[in-house]
Chains A and B, each alone.
Chain A
Amino acid sequence: GENVEQHPSTLSVQEGDSAVIKCTYSDSASNYFPWYKQELGKRPQLIIDIRSNVGEKKDQRIAVTLNKTAKHFSLHITETQPEDSAVYFCAATSSSFNKFYFGSGTKLNVKP
């Protein structure tokens, strides 16, 4: 099955700096890649996603890039704010969009 690896496991940045979280996947048939944010004690929530026919997608301060050849995708957060502090999970899913494989998570700490 699919294997999704996520790095780093923890990331600490100063408010206003950028943060980058990277994920790799193993199954070249995967074609949908969502990112979820989970605040402490809360449920995961989708923040951005990308399909394999797109190389980059942006939503305000958040962007995701996808390199299908290298089988990796990244989350970019610019101008970080303390409220960005959370655990972020990447995921990959098969062409039928039914089975999901999540990365192990990145704990982002934005220092004021």
Chain B
Amino acid sequence: EAQVTQNPRYLITVTGKKLTVTCSQNMNHEYMSWYRQDPGLGLRQIYYSMNVEVTDKGDVPEGYKVSRKEKRNFPLILESPSPNQTSLYFCASSPDRGLGEQYFGPGTRLTVT
């Protein structure tokens, strides 16, 4: 089954404790992206990747890191999480840059206390 998976789905952590949210797709898509969703703000792009070893900042990259060592995986790293990073995070992938449908993962609900 073609899908985008994220882990964990829910995470409660404390300020400053490094964490990684994994994202994996099995559709051989070149384009992958991370978004955060906050009430009243819609979806905001954090980072995106056009292909392996090619990543770039989205609209709200501060406090986040990403890597793309393999085509299928695109982890999101929070080196020192802060309460303002409490949010719902979505990973997405697309076969042709960002043109056409982006397939979203199920989301990761992160709470930083």
Binding site for B on A (CB under 8 A): 1, 6, 9, 32, 34, 43-46, 49, 89, 91, 93, 96-105
Contact = CB atoms under 8 A, between A and B. Distances in A.
Given A44-B43, A44-B104, A103-B42, A98 B90 contact: no
B50 interface: yes
B42 A104 contact: yes
A89 B98 contact: no
Interface of B: 31, 33, 35, 40-45, 48, 50, 56, 58-59, 90, 96-102, 104-107
A104 B59 contact: no
7 contacts: A49-B101, A99-B56, A100-B43, A100-B102, A101-B45, A102-B35, A103-B42
B100 A43 contact: no
B42 A100 contact: no
A98 B105 contact: no
Contact of B42 (A49, A93, A105): A105
Contacts, number: 65
A100 to B, nearest CB: 5
Contact of A99 (B42, B43, B58, B106): B58
Given A43-B105, A101-B59, 9 more contacts: A44-B102, A46-B102, A89-B43, A97-B99, A98-B56, A98-B98, A99-B59, A100-B58, A104-B42
A9 B97 CA distance: 29
A19 B104 CA distance: 25
Given A99-B45, A105-B42, A93 B98 contact: yes
A32 B90 contact: no
Given A98-B48, A99-B48, A6 B42 contact: yes
